[in-house]
Amino acid sequence: MTNLATNLVTTAQEHPDAVAIKLDDAQLTYAQLHGLAAKAAGALRAAGLQEGDRVSLILPNVPAFPILFYGTLLAGGIVVPMNPLLKGQEIEYFYTDSGAKFSFVWGDFAAEAHLGAEGTSTKVITSGPVGPSEEDLPSGEAIAVPVERAGDDTAVILYTSGTTGRPKGAELTHDNLDLNAMRSAEDIIKISTGDVIMGCLPLFHVFGLTCGLNAAVRQGATLTLVPRFEPGKALEVIARDKVTIFEGVPTMYGAMLHHPSVAETDTSSLRTCVSGGSSLPGETLREFEETFKVSLLEGYGLSETSPVASFNMLDRPTKPGTIGRAIPGCEMKLLDAEGKEVGPGEGVGEIAIRGDNIMKGYWGNPEATAEAIPDGWFRSGDIASVDEDGYYTIVDRKKDLIIRGGMNVYPREVEEVLYSHPDVLECAVVGVPHPELGEDIGAAVSLREGAAADTEEIKQYVKDRVAAYKYPRTVWVLDELPKGPTGKILKREIHAPA
């Protein structure tokens, strides 16, 4: 039996009274979560769901998400998690492309979902905190034992936020997700029953889904949900629920670090923190470990790799500033522009990945699949170097590279310098069109409260610390940098002022 939902069934048998999901005062034990998921599976079957049919979830981090996620899998369906902030036109594309039969939607987002469903065959069903009401979905006989699925059958279709063209649906199999959750829980983060994991990463995103929900369910740990990340609320939940494992993206760590209540919050329960989603500035890592007295481990992955590919692991030396080594079951190498391997100390290359975490392909898009995985190795689009010990350091996204007058400038290097400036809270370095050079260096920054620095001073600060061709000629201040659903800074939405 390789259905991913088997993990829920097993944990519910072994730890029926352990708390699975918490949301403030509401909580579900593993027995209750299994019971509600089995009921949802029966209702879906009664409503006409066949094995392999797609079910979209447009839900925030509320108990309904795990209930309907595992309910769909128990019934043999495929889950299509979607960002609740999508608008009607975008939703229509996802519904049409995935061929979703049903879509469970949180009330606040129902109007856009109904708009998106017009002209499609998707049935939109409003969900409350623990699922839809009986009027919206007929009750059927509960399906407590998962429908048999093969390990390479698709379990989830995750749409990647395409920077060019339309998003593509990465097909992740039952084996992809199960093995990656196991590696996350056992090899990397060392999660066990009794652990409390912070659930502030969105569950519709692969990081929160695998390392949060699926890893917790596999090990019988508690996932305490936060529907919308806010640093003060996160600190409050850590203290209240005695959170032992925090999983976040760099902006979350920065926000908690600089929150006024950090000094008087009891965060002593924290044992391990993990960061992914984008590069963690070295300054944030050092400050966070010092303030919170906890290890902060950085790793790397993509939607297409289920997501974890490499990590600084607890049982090996950690190297701050790196994304660690390839995890068990996964291989990584660097390739130059001609496709030749780049060895340790030989410069930079594009990360290529092979292993049991690689997606089956892009849903209904064999051309894009062949381009991404031409020879069994998935091309990540990320540029990195590797050292003698096999630790990788991300230099930048291939597409973020700035070529200034023929010279390569990797934004990450300039951003590290900016983050070391005492007044800079967040920054993003981007290419700015230039008539002679093709591109020049620009930097958008947001400043800490009470900061005195001006743009000229910041520019000079960087100029003193990097080669002349690398410092930003244009610096501008924003109240806040644009961010995606996980809190990752969106460079594609940052443009220099005219």
State whether 146 and 50 are in the same domain.
yes
From the list 392, 424, 252, 323, the residue with the least C-alpha distance to 472 is: 424
Structure tokens that stand for 493 in this block = 């939405």
State whether 391 and 451 are in the same domain.
no
46 part of a folded domain: yes
Report residue 161's pLDDT band, with 50, 70 and 90 as the boundaries: low
Among 398, 415, 434, where does a domain finish? 398
State whether 476 and 370 are in the same domain.
no
| Overall average pLDDT of the 149-153 stretch | 97
* Ramachandran region, residue 99 (left: φ > 0; alpha: ψ -120 to 50; beta: rest): left
pLDDT in the model for residue 86:
86
- Return the bridge partners of 170, or none: 158, 362
Cα dihedral: 4, 54, 61, 109 (round 10): 180
pLDDT in the model for residue 231:
96
State whether 105 and 210 are in the same domain.
yes
pLDDT in the model for residue 160:
86
| Overall average pLDDT of the 288-307 stretch | 96
Task: Estimate the share of the chain in helix, then strand, then coil, as percent rounded to the nearest 5.
Answer: 30, 25, 40
475 part of a folded domain: yes
| Overall average pLDDT of the 431-440 stretch | 86
498 part of a folded domain: no
| Overall average pLDDT of the 58-81 stretch | 98
In terms of average pLDDT, the best of 70-74, 252-256, 489-493 is 70-74
- Measured in whole angstroms, the distance separating CA 373 from the mean position of its chain's CA atoms is 21
Neighbours of 83 (CB within 10 A): 18
Structure tokens that stand for 36 in this block = 């509600």
Q: Are 431 and 441 in contact (CB under 8 A)?
A: yes
Neighbours of 25 (CB within 10 A): 5
State whether 263 and 168 are in the same domain.
yes
Strand (E) or helix (H) holding 245: strand 245-248
Name the amino acid, one letter, at 354. R
Domain assignment of residue 231, given as a range? 1-398
361 part of a folded domain: yes
What is the spatial distance between Cα 142 and Cα 144, in angstroms, rounded to a whole number?
Answer: 6
Residues 357-399 have pLDDT tens digits of 999 999 999 999 999 999 999 999 999 999 999 999 998 887 8
State whether 249 and 342 are in the same domain.
yes
The residue written with tokens 């030989």 in the block is 346
State whether 393 and 408 are in the same domain.
no
State whether 450 and 362 are in the same domain.
no
Residues 32-51 have pLDDT tens digits of 999 999 999 999 999 999 99
From the list 416, 403, 483, the residue with the least C-alpha distance to 443 is: 416
- In percent, how much of the chain has pLDDT > 90? 83
pLDDT in the model for residue 74:
98
- Sheet of strand 78-81, all strands in order from the earlier edge strand to the far edge: 123-127, 102-106, 54-58, 78-81, 154-160, 168-173, 361-362
Q: DSSP letter string over 77-115? A: -EEEE--TT--HHHHHHHHHHHT-SEEEEEGGGHHHHHH
Checking DSSP bridges between strand 154-160 and strand 168-173, what pairing results, if any? antiparallel
- CATH code: domain of residue 364: 3.40.50.12780
Q: How far is CA 77 from CA 13, 112, 118, 157, in A?
A: 23, 24, 23, 11
- Sheet of strand 349-355, all strands in order from the earlier edge strand to the far edge: 330-335, 349-355, 378-386, 392-397
470 part of a folded domain: yes
Q: Does residue 164 have a pLDDT over 60?
A: no
State whether 199 and 252 are in the same domain.
yes
Among 337, 365, 398, where does a domain finish? 398
Strand (E) or helix (H) holding 396: strand 392-397
Structure tokens that stand for 86 in this block = 């999508």
| Overall average pLDDT of the 208-233 stretch | 97
State whether 120 and 230 are in the same domain.
yes
Report residue 163's pLDDT band, with 50, 70 and 90 as the boundaries: very low
State whether 232 and 97 are in the same domain.
yes
Structure tokens that stand for 56 in this block = 């979209």
| Overall average pLDDT of the 290-317 stretch | 95
- Between 216-220, 434-438, 442-446, the lowest mean confidence (pLDDT) is in 434-438
What is the spatial distance between Cα 267 and Cα 231, in angstroms, rounded to a whole number?
Answer: 13
Strand (E) or helix (H) holding 197: strand 196-199
Q: Does residue 316 have a pLDDT over 50?
A: yes
Q: Does residue 462 have a pLDDT over 70?
A: yes
Among 346, 373, 398, where does a domain finish? 398
Q: Are 304 and 377 in contact (CB under 8 A)?
A: no
335 part of a folded domain: yes
Q: Does residue 124 have a pLDDT over 50?
A: yes
pLDDT in the model for residue 441:
95
From the list 6, 1, 81, the residue with the least C-alpha distance to 37 is: 6
pLDDT in the model for residue 437:
79
Q: Does residue 289 have a pLDDT over 80?
A: yes
Counted domains in the chain: 2
From the list 138, 173, 145, the residue with the least C-alpha distance to 40 is: 138
pLDDT in the model for residue 280:
87
Report residue 1's pLDDT band, with 50, 70 and 90 as the boundaries: low
| Overall average pLDDT of the 161-167 stretch | 63
State whether 282 and 417 are in the same domain.
no
What is the spatial distance between Cα 390 and Cα 335, in angstroms, rounded to a whole number?
Answer: 15
- Please tell me what DSSP assigns to residue 304: G
- CATH code: domain of residue 449: 3.30.300.30
pLDDT in the model for residue 165:
62
Which residues make Cβ contacts (< 8 Å) with residue 202, sequence separation at least 6? 60, 61, 83, 208, 485, 486
Residues 330-349 have pLDDT tens digits of 999 999 999 999 999 999 99
488 part of a folded domain: yes
- Between 270-284, 289-303, 365-379, the lowest mean confidence (pLDDT) is in 270-284
Name the amino acid, one letter, at 479. D
